[in-house]
A and B are shown apart, each in its own frame.
Chain A
Amino acid sequence: MSRTLMKGNEALARAAIRGGCTHFFGYPITPQNEIPEYFARELPKAGGLFLQAESEIAAVNMLYGSAAAGAQAMTSSSSPGLALMQEGISMLAATEIPCVIVNVMRGGPGLGTIQPAQSDYFQMTRGGGNGDYRILSLAPATVQESAEMMEESFALAQKYRTPVFLVSDGLLGQMMEPVQFDRHTKKKRAGNKRWILTGHHHRRPPRTIKSLRLDPAKLESHNLELQDKYGRISRRETRFELYRMNDAELVFCAFGSTARIVKNSIDDLRQKGCRAGLIRPQTLWPFPVQPFKTLPESGKAVICVEMNCGQMVDDVRLAVEGRMPVHFYGRCGGVIPEPAELSEYALELLTGGAA
């Protein structure tokens, strides 16, 4: 099995083609540009279509149209670009269109910076679009995991007829790491295609895809069906990794690239005699509540570390349900925390220094 040194962004694009992606629509934005660059070069060779749209709004609506016609389509952008797509994402959720949307997060709000951040946790789990909807959000922490989750995302989208978010960031997208593509060859499932719009040619009843339902009873029952599906996704697809959690007294929670940095701190803290561990959500929605319900008895406190001003910490607090104190440590604006500052914060916390 050979390892290839690849940028996270390139690995995402390559894995998407392996996962069955046939159509890509997007508009350039740093730090995700290697993704459309790769697709522009490689997708036509694989028999697919690459199209650079005139804006993110156009891109998400092209995604909507092509996936409604049965394409395995995706788009990719970074934070402010995702903000522009929110209306379309609400439509995709309402009409249950399977597709994949990549967010290589950068610092915000507004145009912010092109440097890495995780300040779109809310955007990726609460949505900026209207209505009661949820999007399955996969959050890799390595280039290998980026490839594996990306490849699988198309099957998940088809399985549940839902848009899927792949949540990366500037750090994970720009860095290179060895990746193996032969390690993971899941056959893509075709899924039920009896809803796609391909023209009835007077041989079958016409099909309609729409989000407008003016009859309250009909819209309510549609919502309940969606909620039922979100329940199934929560039960079956919630994922997390535990790192050195067995006897942990200090429980870190972090996702994506921040989780990598936290692992360094945990190893460092363990050498200093402080038993630290990590709960790493691999799905942001559904959020893994279970490991917080079964925290080890040794546990004294939870520290949520994010590259933002405190977003996932809300979900951590809901999951911990007041069983122990939950602290937050964040850096933002493109500043990346260092393992040493996290260790320092943790040790201060244990000795009663930090708030």
Chain B
Amino acid sequence: MQNERILCAGFGGQGVMSLGKLIACAAMLDGREVTWMPSYGPEMRGGTAYCSVVVADRPVGSPIVTTNATSLIVMNLPSLDRFEQSVVPGGLILLNRSLIDREVGREDVVVHALEATTMAAQCGDPRAANMIMLGAYMALRGTPRHRHVEEAFSLVFGSGSSTSFNLNRKALRCGFDSVSAEAVIRKAA
């Protein structure tokens, strides 16, 4: 399987750290080697936040993917401005259309846009936009496995209320299903 280097970016509170942790944890449960690395600078105190996730078949070397991401999951406009060029040619940019009102300038990457915040609100809470993005990511990449992501919910969030578990699960499914319904906007040349 291909090595995957994922950059999750957004503003504080959108759940980009949790999104990255869920991918890393589920991929670990898939039996793969993983790392997760947060931005822990002034970002933690507000503003943009991002994390790097590496999924590989062999032990991971550098856990930092800010310059050579194979996937960028981007939740707001400042993060797209900052990380658009961080994606390798042929890589994937998965973006939250609800908060990003411009097109991706590059022709050499696969772009998939979805109204994640709006869709999450329809599921019951706009804060579940990260789960919409995660579902879409899983559908586009075919990994990590669905049951491992659901198992990762309790490992990452602790055994929280069943209300939030059900909301996360619903939003995940909604994001997953949206991919087959929507067309990939632009393919790599």
Chain A contact residues, CB within 8 Å of chain B:
3-5, 30-31, 114-115, 142, 170-171, 174-178, 260-264, 267, 336, 338-340
> A175 contacts B61, CB within 8 Å?
no
> B37 contacts A338, CB within 8 Å?
no
CA distance A4 to B62 in the complex (A): 20
For the complex formed, measure the closest distance between the CB of B122 and the CB atoms of chain A, giving whole angstroms.
31
Given that A5-B155, A30-B40 are known contacts, is A176 also in contact with B35, CB under 8 Å in the complex?
yes
> A178 contacts B28, CB within 8 Å?
yes
Given that A3-B28, A176-B24, A178-B33 are known contacts, is A260 also in contact with B40, CB under 8 Å in the complex?
no
Given that A260-B61, A264-B61 are known contacts, is A176 also in contact with B21, CB under 8 Å in the complex?
yes
CA distance A31 to B155 in the complex (A): 23
Produce 1/0 per residue, B2-36, CB < 8 A to A.
Answer: 00000000000000000001001100100001111
Chain A: which residue is nearest B29 at the CB level? A3
Chain A: which residue is nearest B42 at the CB level? A114
Contacts of A174 in B (CB 8 A): 37-38, 40
CA distance A262 to B61 in the complex (A): 8
The A-contacting residues of B in range 143-161, CB under 8 angstroms, are: 155-156
Chain B: which residue is nearest A30 at the CB level? B40
Chain B: which residue is nearest A336 at the CB level? B64
For the complex formed, measure the closest distance between the CB of B39 and the CB atoms of chain A, giving whole angstroms.
9
> A171 contacts B28, CB within 8 Å?
no
Produce 1/0 per residue, B163-185, CB < 8 A to A.
Answer: 00000000000000000000000
Chain B contact residues, CB within 8 Å of chain A:
21, 24-25, 28, 33-38, 40-41, 59-64, 67-68, 155-156
For the complex formed, measure the closest distance between the CB of B188 and the CB atoms of chain A, giving whole angstroms.
21
CB-defined A-B contacts under 8 Å, sample of 12: A3-B28, A30-B40, A115-B41, A174-B37, A174-B40, A175-B63, A178-B28, A178-B34, A260-B62, A261-B62, A338-B67, A338-B68
Contacts of B34 in A (CB 8 A): 5, 176-178
Contacts of B25 in A (CB 8 A): 5
Contacts of A261 in B (CB 8 A): 61-62
> A177 contacts B21, CB within 8 Å?
no
CA distance A3 to B151 in the complex (A): 13
For the complex formed, measure the closest distance between the CB of A165 and the CB atoms of chain B, giving whole angstroms.
23
Contacts of B68 in A (CB 8 A): 338, 340
CA distance A174 to B38 in the complex (A): 7
CA distance A344 to B152 in the complex (A): 39
> A114 contacts B21, CB within 8 Å?
no
The one of A5, A142, A171 in contact with B59, judged by C-beta atoms closer than 8 angstroms, is A142
Contacts of A264 in B (CB 8 A): 61-62
- Looking at A5, A171, A261, A263, which has the most chain B CB atoms within 10 Å of its CB? A5
CA distance A197 to B188 in the complex (A): 72
CA distance A146 to B79 in the complex (A): 32
For the complex formed, measure the closest distance between the CB of A33 and the CB atoms of chain B, giving whole angstroms.
10
> A5 contacts B41, CB within 8 Å?
no
CA distance A262 to B21 in the complex (A): 25
CA distance A261 to B61 in the complex (A): 5
> B35 contacts A175, CB within 8 Å?
yes
Contacts of A142 in B (CB 8 A): 59
CA distance A260 to B54 in the complex (A): 13
Chain A: which residue is nearest B28 at the CB level? A178
> A5 contacts B21, CB within 8 Å?
yes
CA distance A41 to B36 in the complex (A): 23
